[in-house]
Amino acid sequence: MSIQLYNRIYLLLLLSSSLLSQNKMTPEEYIASFKDDAIREMYLHKVPACITLAQGMLESGNGNSPLCRNANNHFGIKCHKEWSGETYIMDDDEANECFRKYDHVLDSYSDHSLFLFSRSRYASLFELKITDYKGWCYGLKNAGYATDPSYPERLIKLIEKYNLQDLNRIENTPKLNFPSQEIIQPELVIRQVYRFNHIQFIIAKENDSFYKIANDFKLELKDLLNYNDLNKSDKLTYGQKIYIQKKRRRALEPYHVVQKNETLKSISQLHGIRLNSLCKKNKLKSEDTLKIGDILYLRQTKKINE
């Protein structure tokens, strides 16, 4: 090989390396890009924002891992037998392991919250104060989220290094402008639309009403109420998830473990499944009360002997 050719190859390699380093996301860029997604999940599902963000940083290598870039999977969640969405195969603890693949980053964040909320082994975490990030870090490890013995300490180090604990002030979230994947009507600056389980929903604002929401999206009031299994007499609260499309007959997750103060209606809203479908699958009536630890089927119909 001539010296000239060698030098040209060397320069090309340097340029390629430089471009790759420029495209690599820094921790600060990751935080700036996804902190509002983490706060949104805290507001909707009560997972501390600093926990979600720190886990995303750690599991995705600040958004630079192949799993993150190729599958929008920021939390390393594997397929498990119940997953029916797209998949991404790569080597991890074993060769050719199956990981969940998402269309959007927001889907990954939402699925992470539901992954924690719908599994009984994480139930005790939701009894902690939203500001108890250390309790959450050690609780995740004890519940089996990660095999790394230093997992809690690594999360805590990230949280405290970048002051992520400051994001856990849930009382301040009404002032946040949540990012959206799609805005239905651009002139509605704050009325942003999110997607979950392939359904569009919004987050109720301060001094909002069902009539205002229906009017904003040119819906009949009765249709909006039906989409959410609500009545005119029901009260709308700030931060409430309101679907602007009909919910689906099946959820993304296969089942739900009932937590404290949950009702069939609140679970149907959480998973984007119609209340009558939820009741039918579990052979229940909408007015039935639930017990903590009950298992509700979200995709299949419960067998008579179960």
The token pair that represents 261 in the structure block: 């103060």
- 110 and 147 within one domain: yes
Sorted by sequence, the CB contacts under 8 Å of residue 146 that are 6+ apart come out as 140
What amino acid is encoded at 10 in this protein? Answer: Y
The token pair that represents 143 in the structure block: 């519940």
The token pair that represents 163 in the structure block: 């002051």
Tell me, what's the pLDDT at 188?
Answer: 37
- 70 and 158 within one domain: yes
The overall longest dimension of the chain from CA atoms, in Å, is 83
**What's the pLDDT band for 153 if we cut at 50, 70, 90?**
very high
The residue range of the domain holding 142 is 27-174
Tell me, what's the pLDDT at 184?
Answer: 37
Q: Percent of the chain beyond pLDDT 90?
A: 39
- 225 and 143 within one domain: no
List the alpha helices (DSSP H) in 179-249.
210-216, 221-227
Tell me, what's the pLDDT at 14?
Answer: 46
From 153, 174, 195, give the residue that closes a domain.
Answer: 174
- Spatial distance between the Cα atoms of 237 and 244, rounded to a whole number of angstroms: 16
Q: Is 296 left (phi over 0), alpha (psi -120 to 50) or beta?
A: beta
The token pair that represents 227 in the structure block: 């989409």
**What's the pLDDT band for 200 if we cut at 50, 70, 90?**
confident
Q: What is the pLDDT of residues 69-125, one digit of tens each?
A: 999 999 999 887 767 788 999 988 788 899 999 888 888 998 898 888 877 788 888
Rg over CA atoms, the chain: 22
The answer as to whether 57 is a domain residue is yes
- 128 and 37 within one domain: yes
Contact 205, 190 (CB under 8 A): yes
Tell me, what's the pLDDT at 12?
Answer: 53
Torsion of CA 3, 6, 11, 17, to 10 degrees: -150
> 81 to each of 85, 99, 112, 249, how far by Cα in Å?
11, 11, 16, 20
Q: What is the pLDDT of residues 239-252, one digit of tens each?
A: 788 999 999 999 88
Count of alpha carbons within 13 angstroms of residue 271, beta-carbon side: 29
- 273 and 134 within one domain: no
Contact 249, 268 (CB under 8 A): no
Sorted by sequence, the CB contacts under 8 Å of residue 130 that are 6+ apart come out as 42, 46, 48, 168, 170
Tell me, what's the pLDDT at 13?
Answer: 52
Tell me, what's the pLDDT at 183?
Answer: 35
- 138 and 110 within one domain: yes
**What's the pLDDT band for 179 if we cut at 50, 70, 90?**
very low
Sorted by sequence, the CB contacts under 8 Å of residue 180 that are 6+ apart come out as 192, 193, 194
The answer as to whether 17 is a domain residue is no
- 161 and 131 within one domain: yes
Tell me, what's the pLDDT at 16?
Answer: 45
Give the count of domains, the chain: 3
The better pLDDT of the pair 170, 37 is held by 37
Q: What is the pLDDT of residues 291-306, one digit of tens each?
A: 988 889 998 888 766 5
**What's the pLDDT band for 175 if we cut at 50, 70, 90?**
very low
The answer as to whether 306 is a domain residue is no
The answer as to whether 150 is a domain residue is yes
Query: Is the whole model's pTM more than 0.85, yes or no?
Result: no
The answer as to whether 287 is a domain residue is yes
Q: What is the pLDDT of residues 16-30, one digit of tens each?
A: 444 344 478 999 999
- 170 and 216 within one domain: no
- 69 and 141 within one domain: yes
Q: Is the pLDDT of residue 145 over 50?
A: yes
